Chain A
């Protein structure tokens, strides 16, 4: 989030004139998943260069706002990536007010990934941060007052989407790798800074810089190897993350099995049967979905189960969509009390909403499944449904019986439209875009480390600048690092005593 903030600040106060020399950004502006055409947007001063390089336009640029069918190639390897439409928008007549370009390419993940990576390899071009296109439009005076008022909410939504995406990744092997680099880089910087600020008066061992030299070299080599190795760790979980959550014995695993039409999860009537996450890939209405079943949420004395509950909560935090399963026999018999009951229940299952997301924002990402409807009298169920339709602030609720499959069709319709919306939303974390973002920052990080070696013997202040810069770029992935944090390491590792 620090990263977003940092970039936010950059965007905030630049007058129109200064925007002209800003960096050029790109993003996939259509959703991922099954779609025929994907749209990649580019904005900034280098847009025309990008268009020339990628669409092989050696002569004049196409006339503005006119689609042109071109071969789209990798600017470095000249390899053909796709054939698609390209459009050129000359500033200020564009969405952002800057020079812009659009690539309409085939929607397959391989093509999208290849195009995004090719863009990221161009000098002065980087993946857009959350809300950056909109912010640039804002600064260019392209947004009306109402749109400006919505900007905060939009940035919030995008920040949240990136945060969820980041959480998912930081959970895995890739996350640990980045964190480890971040930690080592911080130490390198702290040791260079200690040498600059204290070595004249203190016993800072002469070997400190030699250690930094070799650490920096090693980091450089590791990051470069990682960038070359296409396979390692970069396989991000793709698809909409749907998580089933709820109290114990509400029928979460039964729901998973019903959706999978196969017994992927063990189902039993004993409360607390599912102790770990059961995960399965599904195709819902043609969209990729990663469905996870989680441990029932309750306080337990069993340490294994407690761990399961912890993971369940973590998974809910990372989910694009949460299916909250409720045992409908547990609902209050008086239908009028049901909305309040469910409201209360949701607050125990869902993570406490982040500062600016009210219940409304959360309800976009939640479906209530009132399971075991076969055990509730027909008349009571209908009256409850009526109450739920009337009430506001609750996510959509579906009565369903996993046992008899009653209500399954209706539920699937609701689920499918939700998944479709999420897939069509570029914010739900297209893995290819994240991948391009990471690559770009890692490449810049390596570049900065080269500066360290370049200046190591000539000017330590400039060499340190290289490490600072490398950490800033890595911080765009792992979180910002402040001066105080570096000082903490200095005082922990050295006896600064003067």
Chain B
């Protein structure tokens, strides 16, 4: 894989890019149009194309496709899980991370494999190159440089719910519309975006790029009547590496052996010894003084637009938690870059004060700024107006992903992009939309939280958001998602599928082999030396039971039973993790089953709650009418919903047999599972 890419990159890169743009555009009709070339847009376009849809990606500048507009890193706690899941569904970001990473580490190493956070510092250039070459070599995918002026909509298909249907887009400079069955909008911070630095504001979504989307913004708000909210974010100044006194900062080394993000890779492009370090330093009381003195010169900070409570600017950190030392990470921007990225110092004060502030930190006392930090305020579409397939409920064929839905972070954007791309492709190919369960993936948790509850601040993934954290682990994302991604969704290539299946079968065999070796605890002690087993002497334990113990490793067991276990050495770490978590996951399985069943009971989106002929209070009717939950599961999580209301709703839905009319076919409703799910509904006797 990596070798292939290397080969590809030897071509003259930019000429390759331009050959696909502008006048070469011959088609005027696509299955899917993706607007935006960030993390969401690139995953969406690639996923739709993998599915078999003729796809057009439109971006303002082809050279910024795959650009990391903020921090030069990928993954982390919770976010790393998302990267692994996107990779398991054959997305791009995991492999791009392995290609571009220059500093790999597994966060939370001491806290249990369920919450390990694979993370890497990236080389910006390499990341961009990988994403661009990947997209440009994807069959059925065309990339076009341009600005979208207008979203074209027409009368809805009367067979489906919704008030409008999307038919394509019109470019700013092109008089001809480009038609498509579905459109994915991934415009990031560009929707009515404004940039803030000191007392100056200017329209735009990212410094250096032209503002856009005035027309789009109008279509979304005025034509489609979508509710929007406003959020803010920011980015730190970039510092000239040479001007930093790194001897005054604490060196943070990467893992000795880099762990790749992708299930397809056994090693990363960057060799262990080539990795770059990060540096840790801290703010001083002087930093706080500069912040306080500059508040009146700082428009962004004076606005009360909602910013994130995590990842806040240095201004809000200092103002909210005064008198403290705050951490600042100095991160490399790439192998050849002469810049450092000061993680934790996002700021929006005037540039001269930014410099003064930096120089209050000992390691930065002579620091030079290449580009100053700035803030962005932008519109997002309230995501409760979307279905779990990320389609706008009122508009057939229109999908949204990324910051436009109120999230923050590359990984969150990539995850949504992939899923929106899958569904945009399925819609164009006349396949039913799909949803991911929150019992199966962090992507499912993310989307369910967004469309079910909405956002009040930029949404970021944390492991604490996942009820089934001990099951949704980074190590098993391939088993959870890849087979389904191939068999049901269609977004996984055969090569990856075959690999996942062989891993699944290998693990299965290994687990059976472990269970086949059984000894009394006394005999185990004899065989393995001094291990502490809590069971009494006569209890028989099998290898899998034993592997749960803290100080027992697969290698120890394999050396005791070489003939039986040594074929499975390659899975030793995964087996150990599986053994520890399996009993807990089994305990949770009933709860997971319950949630999945509720998620599989769709509520028709055209249901008239206000006049539904069942005994529901006016209050409950209004809640249901306002939120229009997608499934019974979502309805039960609504504040103000009563148990009696849920039962009435269930009865009604089952009785009228509307269940399958507009059912979103669920990802987890595989042939086997789906059979069970239907059994559930039809098993409840309704006509006796």
Q: Does B343 count as interface, using CB distance less than 8 angstroms?
A: yes
Docked Cα-Cα span, A10 to B688, in Å, equals 24
Please tell me which one of the listed residues B311, B462, B550, B590 contacts residue A21 in the complex, with CB atoms under 8 A apart. Answer: B590
Q: Which of A5, A201, A497 contacts B646 (CB 8 A)?
A: A5
Contacts of A193 in B (CB 8 A): 462-464
User: B111 near A: Cβ within 8 Å?
Assistant: yes
Contacts of A195 in B (CB 8 A): 111
B317 touches A497 (CB 8 A): yes
Take A12-B646, A149-B651, A153-B644 as given contacts and tell me if A196 and B593 are in contact as well, using a CB distance cutoff of 8 Å: no
Contacts of B75-118 to chain A: CB distance below 8 A: 76-78, 107-108, 110-115, 117
Chain B CB within 10 A, most for which of A1, A197, A496: A197
CA distance A1 to B593 in the complex (A): 22
Tell me how far the C-beta of A394 lies from the nearest C-beta in chain B, rounded to whole angstroms.
21
Q: Which residues of B contact A461 (CB under 8 A)?
A: 111-115, 463, 469-470
A128 to chain B, nearest CB (A): 14
Q: Which of B76, B321, B617, B650 contacts A355 (CB 8 A)?
A: B617
Contact with A along B625-648 (1 / 0, CB 8 A): 000000011001000011111111
Find out whether the CB atom of B108 lies under 8 angstroms from the CB atom of A200: yes
Whether B344 pairs with A159 at a CB distance below 8 angstroms is no
Whether B296 sits at the interface, judged by CB under 8 Å, is no
Q: Does B594 contact A (CB under 8 A)?
A: yes
A314 CB to nearest B CB, Å: 22
Residue ID in chain B nearest A131 by CB atoms: B643
**Residues B77 and A495 in contact, CB atoms below 8 Å apart:** no
Most buried by B among A13, A152, A497: A497
Tell me which residues from 447 to 484 in chain A have a Cβ below 8 Å from any Cβ of chain B.
Answer: 455, 458-463, 465, 483
Cα A458 to Cα B580 in complex, Å, equals 10
Q: Does A18 lie at the interface of the complex (its beta carbon under 8 Å from any beta carbon of B)?
A: yes
| Residue numbers in A under 8 Å from B617 (CB-CB) | 355-356
Interface residue range, chain A: 35 or more
Say yes or no: B327 contacts A202, CB within 8 Å. Answer: yes
A151 to B633, CA, bound (A): 19
- Asked if B112 and A462 make an inter-chain contact with CB atoms under 8 angstroms apart, the answer reads yes
- Quick check: is A16 within 8 A (CB to CB) of the other chain? yes
With contact pairs A15-B680, A355-B620, A460-B112 given, residues A200 and B688 touching in the complex (Cβ less than 8 Å): no
Q: Is the Cβ of B309 less than 8 Å from the Cβ of A16?
A: no
- Min CB–CB distance B118 → chain A (angstroms): 12
Chain A CB within 8 A of B686 CB: yes
Residues of chain B contacted by A5 (CB below 8 angstroms)? 636, 641-643, 646
A residues less than 8 Å from B344 (CB atoms): 497-498
A460 to B633, CA, bound (A): 29
Q: How far is the CA of A491 from the CA of B289 in the complex (A)?
A: 24
Find the B residue at minimum CB distance from A9. B636
Contact B683 A16 (CB under 8 A): yes
CB contacts under 8 Å to B, within A333-359, are: 355-356
A196 and B111 contact, CB distance less than 8 A? yes
Chain A residues near B108: list those with CB within 8 A. Answer: 196, 199-200, 460
With A15-B683, A156-B642, A495-B320 as known contacts, state yes or no: A200 contacts B107, CB within 8 Å: yes
The verdict on A148 contacting B651 (CB below 8 Å), with A196-B111, A197-B77, A200-B117 known, is yes
Which chain A residue lies CB-closest to B320?
Answer: A495
Q: Which residues of B contact A155 (CB under 8 A)?
A: 643-644, 647
Interface centre among A16, A131, A355, A487 (most CB of B within 10 A): A355
- Known pairs A13-B594, A139-B684, A200-B117; A497 contacts B462 (CB<8 A): no
A196 contacts which chain B residues (CB < 8 A)? 77, 108, 111, 115, 463-464
Contact with B along A112-151 (1 / 0, CB 8 A): 0000000000000000001100000011010011001101
- Which of B77, B595, B642, B688 interacts with A145 by CB under 8 Å? B688
B679 at interface (Cβ–Cβ under 8 A)?
Answer: yes
> Is the beta-carbon distance between A491 and B309 smaller than 8 angstroms?
yes
Name the distance in Å between B476's Cβ and chain A's nearest Cβ.
Answer: 14
Could you tell me the distance between the alpha carbons of A153 and B616 in the complex, rounded to whole angstroms? 10
Query: When the two chains form the complex, which single residue of A13, A144, A356, A465 contacts B688, counting CB atoms closer than 8 Å?
Result: A144
Instruction: Give the distance in Å from the alpha carbon of A254 to the alpha carbon of B601 in the complex.
Output: 57
A390, chain B: closest CB distance, angstroms: 27
Distance from B405 Cβ to chain A, minimum over Cβ atoms (Å)? 18
At the interface, yes or no: A203 with Cβ under 8 Å from chain B?
yes
Please tell me if A4 contacts chain B, counting CB pairs below 8 Å: yes
**CB-nearest residue of chain A relative to B453?**
A484
Query: CB-nearest residue of chain B relative to A139?
Result: B684
Ranked 7 nearest A-B pairs via Cβ: A13-B597, A459-B112, A355-B617, A461-B112, A156-B644, A461-B114, A141-B685
Show 22 A/B contacts (Cβ-Cβ < 8 Å), sorted by A: A1-B643, A5-B646, A8-B636, A10-B594, A12-B650, A13-B632, A14-B597, A16-B683, A138-B684, A156-B644, A159-B643, A159-B644, A193-B464, A200-B107, A356-B645, A460-B115, A462-B580, A462-B584, A495-B320, A496-B311, A497-B311, A497-B344
A-B contacts besides A195-B111, A461-B115, A495-B317, 19 pairs, CB < 8 Å: A1-B642, A5-B643, A9-B598, A10-B594, A12-B632, A138-B684, A148-B686, A152-B644, A152-B645, A200-B108, A200-B117, A203-B325, A355-B619, A459-B580, A461-B111, A461-B470, A462-B114, A465-B469, A490-B464
